[in-house]
A and B are shown apart, each in its own frame.
Chain A
Amino acid sequence: MTQQAKHKEGEHLLEISKTATICVAVLSETEPDAFPLYWLLVDKDSLTEGKIPQKMVKDLSDVLADSLCQEVLVGQPGDRSSWLKRFADGEYKYFAERQFLPGVTDNLAHTVQEALKLKGFANQVRVASGRGFLFKESAGDAKAIADALIYKDYHPLTDRFNVHETDSGSADGLLKFPHVVLPETPKVDEVDLELDDAKLEKLSKERLLALNLDEMKAIRQYYRLDKTKADRKDRGLSLKPTDVELEILAQTWSEHCKHKIFNAKITHTDNSKPRDLRTETYNSLYKTFIKAATKKLSQWRKDLLSVFEDNAGVVKWDNETAVCFKVETHNSPSALEPYGGALTGILGVNRDILGTGLGAKPLFNTDVFCFAYPSNSLPQRPKLLPAKAILDGVRKGVEDGGNKSGIPTVNGAIVFDSGYRAKPLVFCGTGGLLPLTVKVGNETRDAVKKHTRAGDLIVMAGGRVGKDGIHGATFSSESLNEGSPMSAVQIGDPFTQKRLLDFVIDARDAGLITGITDNGAGGLSSSVGEMASITGGATIHIDRIPTKYPGLADWEVVVSESQERMTISTDNFEALEKLAEKHNVEVTNIGEFNDKGYFEVLNNGTTVALLDLEFLHDGCPVLTLEAQWSPAQITMKTGKQPEHLGRVLLQLLKHPNICSRESVIRQYDHEVKGQSVIKPLMGPSQKAPCDAAVLLPRLTPDLDRSPALAVSNGLCPRLSEHDTYLMAQCAVDEAVRNAVCVGADPDTLSLLDNFCWPDPVFSDSNPQGKRYLAELVRCCQGLYEAVLAFGAPLISGKDSMKNNFDDGNLKLAIPPTLLVSCMGRVPEARFARSMEFKKAGDLIYILSAGVLGLAASHYEEFNGWQSIMLPELDLDRAPTMYRRLHIAIKSGWIRSAHDVSEGGLAVAVAESIIGSKLGASLDIGEYHQYLSDLYKERGTQAFRSWDFVTRADSLLFGEGPGHIVVSIDKANQAEFERHFEGLTVIKIGEVVNEQMLTIIDGELPGSEKELITLSSQALKTAWETPLPFD
């Protein structure tokens, strides 16, 4: 079949002259001024004498409306003048219409098409969906309406939005069916690389290849080789590269796919060191710090089955299964179109799990967002979406991505910092479950590995190929004509993917999959290109690949990032196809894996790309980069302790980084699959914000006594301003500490690293590049040490290196951010702990390994202060302390455990109260005494004033790593204290029935003792300050 013959069903309808359009509006009493609109394209012949037959009207009404509470308007385009009259009679002055731009994924329309078919509707119907809005005169004019609804009800990158006056009487200006119209299919281009340097660079830029001069030259050199020339002559291929080849190389060698910065040769100069010790050279940060740490730990961790190789890290769970975990970022797409960006981010990382081993099944999602808090002080630029639009879109994308896929969103974080105005960070993580083996006839296959063999067919499964995601964000929307399918933006289709997911798991268990990977960045060029290296070659046929519409160039088909697609290798296509039919999933045999040494692309038998696999994967030159580090210069600015610490505590509880996330959490299904043990919100009022999630990966009998999986995360970007080395260590500690607090065994933890950085490649337009790179080096150093200290290996990771904004007038950069995600084993589900206080009379302790600090704290921000009183992490003691805490949890002594994080000790205790319907009475005198002694012992006065570091406000609101608040049953006091001998464990109070928080400092004289007295209700009210989400 030719490409033209394999585009979406109803193709003859593309001949517009043979079609008729039917318009539908579905009105309801409950929401009279906002309602669904549909445009249907049907065969002209299905009309009766040019009129819509009654049967058709009835079927449409049955499918599109609820007869109990909705009314349907059905008509041909011209009939809509009567709609306008009706709206005008209802005193509405304006009718606004929203419709997807041509080619944008329209999930509702796809479902309607399927539903109409089930109703016996003619096969050739095409549907577009949209929404109508009605406004009274008071809404202002058309522009005022468009301004009020932008980003909330429509997005110019994905939607058409028109406003009409209802009294115009004519339907002529109303929206028509959004046809995709493309010019004739372009031919394959040949590109001349025998150019001077300037022209090579220009070529890379113009074709959006994002390759530097060295890389362009390396490609040119490949085409000069005699062997290359001979191979090409043999295939009848021009000696010059084709555009298909250049695009494949550009994708394969992209920063996104190749992690060139992490593999670069880096000369790092540390200006704080003596001159002769300043400079060090690293050949690949990835190998030096990340892989090396895991390698050291792997001798103790025999459960690491696959690290850094596959689409996710894989760790053995029990004798039959393994768990895997992957976290991705989707920052740039979310900055452009937040809903689609977040949705495709989640669906994308779900596919990473599906593409791990022979196909793992997603178990849970975790989502971490870094946003700028919407406020007037943020910079506003035409190319920067309003901050509120970004966070609402992302939130909704996560809701649809998780909920509709049936994957619980179990854990996450929302961090606000104005630095994220440059770009929002959207981290999407997914964990999965993989069987260790799959039975194929008499053979038992290791399901953690790929088994693709030469001769296996290459199968594309799931969605079709369109212009989506070609060259992603660099594509400029202005240059599009009316009928161009939108290629910069992708929406994502959770329903299609859910079907794909069910199919893949069935196919895996039936032994029909020999290898699998997802189509993400780089599309087929990456997925087939990567799998080709297993067998040593692959050939694909463009003409067999199904497309959404005709008119794509060959190179577009190969690199398109259209969603919901997996690439599968199989030795039994017939059975696979049959199974796919049952699941309503489209599968296509697009070629074959071989051992010929090439990635070859043909179109109707003619070779359009032929690339030596070794060159494709190893031919990219190593980057050489320079890093320069000098310690941060912070000007100290502090003040007196505020008089009312209680008021400060309430203000901190209201802070967007601290206050309740309940409004967001409630909209995410966090329990589907029935596997949760510790949910995001626990306790008698379901308000207690838990430190980490705990869930049961398998549904087996006696689940309360089965091992469970803890999932946590840590990130401390506020510390980056001071030192990324400390930032990395604190992020690791936070992830580890959170997991331990809910009951995870610290000797079973596996970590993931996700770096989001401002561009660390120095250039004239990026003068800060060397500093950013040095911060990356220090971050890796800190990460390496912490990972080894905790004995928690890194199993997978990802980096995103261009998190800047630069429109020529304004340059913005995010704070360097490392997200550490963590999973670990809770020996039995019933050992898991939630963080709220449980019972009056229980004793409250603080566990300490290091010191808390005011630098970068929320308290400091609240006061407008700035200090260098950095927190410290004691990497010798923290791991021991966490191990002993774990034993204490298993012994049943611990009633609650909560990490001290944003807002410090006072906030940690307040949160433990809010979720409990109890109160607490604290005396921090002993803790005060301990810190005074500690600083005296050190003898060094790191800070000018002793008072300052041991002042009550520092004790209560200092933030940092290594601290946990626990409550225990009084009956276990002696055993508990003995158990922690040699470590810092200080009693600070008692849980009380009275719903009050009182904090005194027994070390202070007279009335100075009284620090805070607040009702639990006051704490709760402050903490429930709403976040700015819709």
Chain B
Amino acid sequence: MSAVIHESDLNSEAHHHGPPTGFKRWLYSTNHKDIGTMYLIFALVMLFLGGAMAMLIRAELYMPGLQIVNPDLYNNLVTDHALIMVFGLVMPAAAGMANWMIPMMIGAPDMALPRMNNMSFWLLPAAAILLVSSLLVQFIPGTGTPVNTGWTLYPPLSVQVGLGMDLLIFSVHLLGISSIMASINIVTTILNMRAPGMTMMKMPLFVWAWFFTGLLLIIIMPVLAGGVTMLLFDRHFGTSFFDAAGGGDPVLFQHLFWFFGHPEVYVLLLPSIGVLGMVIPTFSRKPLFGYKPLVYFMGFLFALGLIVWAHHQYTIGMSLGATTYFMIGTILISIPVGLMIFNFIFTMWRGSMTFETPMLFAIAIILMFSFAGVTGVMLAVVPADLQYHDTYFVVAHFHYALIPGAVFGLYAGVFYWLPKWTGHMYDEKLGKIFFWWTTLSFNLTFFPQHFSGLAGMPRRIIDYNIQYIEFNQISSIGAFLFGLSHLLFLYIIIKTVKGGEKAPAKPWDGAQIGTPGLEWTLPSPPPFHSFTTPPEVK
């Protein structure tokens, strides 16, 4: 694939299309790069907010007994930590990368619907205000119990708690609108805005990953909206959707929630798999091994992900047929995921590998995410899951899936694309220190939780039996180190934005081969408006 770009094409519109100045540039933006930047900054802020909550949780669990917070506040922190990390960190960061990269990768002038793009972003701060208010409102007397339900918001508890729950419900509504709009925009951009010659099967893997992510979100977010709307009606308008006395069933909420919640896991994972599909070929200096199968595996994962939700609910008492179906479906998921992992390993096989920070993250992801896959298969098996359900084993499993699988993937993306975004190379030495620090402290935090879980420590409870004290103390120390490592992350980003070695159009000696996308044909940083005239892809 090659693309011919002339400097004059890039600047032909510059006379009336330079970046606007002042607050309007950001508040009124219709530029995919600026909106992408705002998404990424928002995600970074949320990373520290959600991280601070995690630090409080781990500080409380350093010792058995009650030390810092009361049980209701503790459970509220658990609830908001999850919601902030899922909706505030991972999804916005992935959407920010989509905004920045997809138009440049496929040779589009911008996103398909630029004004709606801005609205999808600005809904997030509004939703974040509601989410934080739902936490703070408990300190005003007379507002009822805090949202102590966990992020799953299961009734009947969620019907009984106070005002905070209503704020949270509407926060979820705004987040849903935001995700649906962003997804409509991304899917439309991918289908409609590709440069001539950029066929679907020439698109970089990251674009494919976001295509399936977008489709998933368009399907699942409305169902969550329907579920929380029923919750709102049960709370205030006398309906009985989740009350068996009135003919309803609280278990229905679990089905609706997990119809959203399970595919949501793939929403978080797929963009990071897309990043791996960019990073691994670059630093192996080989085209991606089995590009087409990788696309098909993602499609398979998309379809399968939508029909296995009830494996989160084995303990509710489903029929034997249903339980067996969900178990087999869930175990089947390990096939496309395993094949993807093999494709990435074969991409590295006999490659001319170097180990820059993004590549280190990519390799760590393959190891640790596979580990999460193994505990995932354990949890998929019904008789085993009945033992593990609601223990720290589950906590350890999904943190191994989501931190390496989603968050480290985004870190790899940040280090991989920072030179493109800012025009400066990041500090490789600090990047490597950050990698080792964060990876080791992550494992120190969550590895012991497998053992405390297997020994029976339940999740979402503020206190624990003294038999679990050692595991929890190791976990807490790991968590503090893990949290601290992110200050270095912040420092590296600020340092790279402010200056540093000039990045060429194709950093790392032009190692991007295979299907790397058109972003490397642009200078670093790219002009404010790229590809106003579509490039020709041969």
Q: Do A and B bind each other?
A: no
